Structure 1
């Protein structure tokens, strides 16, 4: 049933999305189909973050999967922490991956930008309709088609489009200020994240001077490096938690969110069980993320996946956190980047190359002082980032408030 609302001089009517557009899902591209050239493959990460790299496709493809500037796209399947939402594509010719709808809009009824703002105003409704657990969540095509958006003067097309245009202009004027603030926050976040890199580089630069020994990493381990288990994991809370490359953060920390689980025999669990002080090294990933590492310091019973390598430092010679800080430093990352083996879409660093990484080695007392200094700086950086994250959430709330008022006719 159509709901009619009056706000100021505007009469609004709710219209189902399925009545004003056609939704075309993207294609499921397999990693084996990725190429280093051709058309960009647009995944959800490319909609939510323009800095994310693309994979490419260089084979013939059905025209319905091709997009170009000016296309309206809706991401409909996400992991927790990211958002469903509508986007206006502006990064050139590309092909569309699954989990994203291309929207063929009836522009005699609704302007593209008005549609996008209306959808994003209804984000919470989309999230509530989403299915799934701690992993991937999605909304079905039928459910999305039944979501409604407000249309002004629905039965008077010319007048409706004129009002829509005015509302879009007012929204964009206000959101320009919000986005300017977001850009400033992004610069501040980037600068905050660089503080740790600068401090690590300065300290390890001093430690690479002749008075300190430089030792191959493999000589500083009490056990040989170990690759993780390749068994398929599940989102069901059964068995043992398994840490994957997504759980290893560039900050050098482990995230215990979005865990998966695996059932193992007692012998397998004993083989892969993590112990405090183990370092997990991400051996396979995109070029900008490969080589990230973190120290396991939890009491949780957990094992690790095959894209990770376990390093077990000899604590009498090198402290885990000292080595982990070095691997994540400018010097450590430079070595890793020099050893990459490239495959389609990803790069790899194997254990044989990792164990010959040269590591500056002061005595353990100096290492402890260095760790304490790094920990202090990292705590301060994390505090700064928490404040900036709070500011970002306030800007998100302000954006929703602007959209709320716009679709009430109050702007």
Structure 2
């Protein structure tokens, strides 16, 4: 997508956003609703690229979460997306209901953890046996050796369209967005303003929002900030099921399956004709420079085997597998904070920990409040930059959960 605003001679903006993926595009949008022409978004690649993590046709959106730091804000994710839909006239969120299931003998404790977090936040759900799940959704061939929870307020959000709509609406509010414009360095002007150096010139601002995904430390390095994250190459697979009518959004829910080795997830058909399946986290640890776009055949086979075991009607010829990047702190929780401890209280950062897209529009709103108001109405206290998982180099759990994915913690680089 060619940029149409690179010819601007303007060099000062009140607010600059680095990265225009899921969270960044949302931040540009929510800032533009209040600050109009005083907003600049910078994207190092072309808009709509597939090099990072905010891409593809569909992402899961749900109230069901294993931790109340998320469940207490999940209802507002829908409100944020609804406001974008209302302004654009385009549907971005499609409600399908959501299922999480597992073998009782293996992972029922994980199902119970989700149930407890939802109950603590008054989120309605139904726990059921595998046979009841199969009766409710015949696509699942599960018996009573399985356990499941069903939560009706779940579905998918169109990621690629969501990013594009955020940017298009932001421009309609007067924001400037420049793509193919990487940030080379951040420093200060003599008057204290932030200076952002790019190949397309130097820009200045009063507040800077940094949300570039896997490139977050590339951008923050010049101000002496480092977040202990690691990047993994993940993938999803689409299959040309011959039973398309059984996997439409009105008949089939989003789902997550918890197992000791992998956490699988899948979505109804949206954006193409294929049934979608992936594994949450656990891909090869890479950097943005060393990642490949070549799918892992072992993980691809594991997805096919899972379909064969519990959702066999979804099987069909392979359409394609597509890679993306997860960027995750050691505890796999969001980072949403200012860089005050490093003397940059006017730099606001976000790392989405490989599971942010469902929250993307809301997190963009939160970032806009932090930039304009210096605070947010939402409780983000546990997403702070000075928590132990980010400050204690010995904080090394054997595994952790996001949607349940198990990922080994790499040795720190010296």
Q: Give the TM-score normalised by structure 2.
A: 0.19
Structure with greater helix share of residues = 1
Say which structure, 1 or 2, has more relative contact order (CA 8 Å, 6+ apart).
Answer: 2
Structure with greater strand share of residues = 2
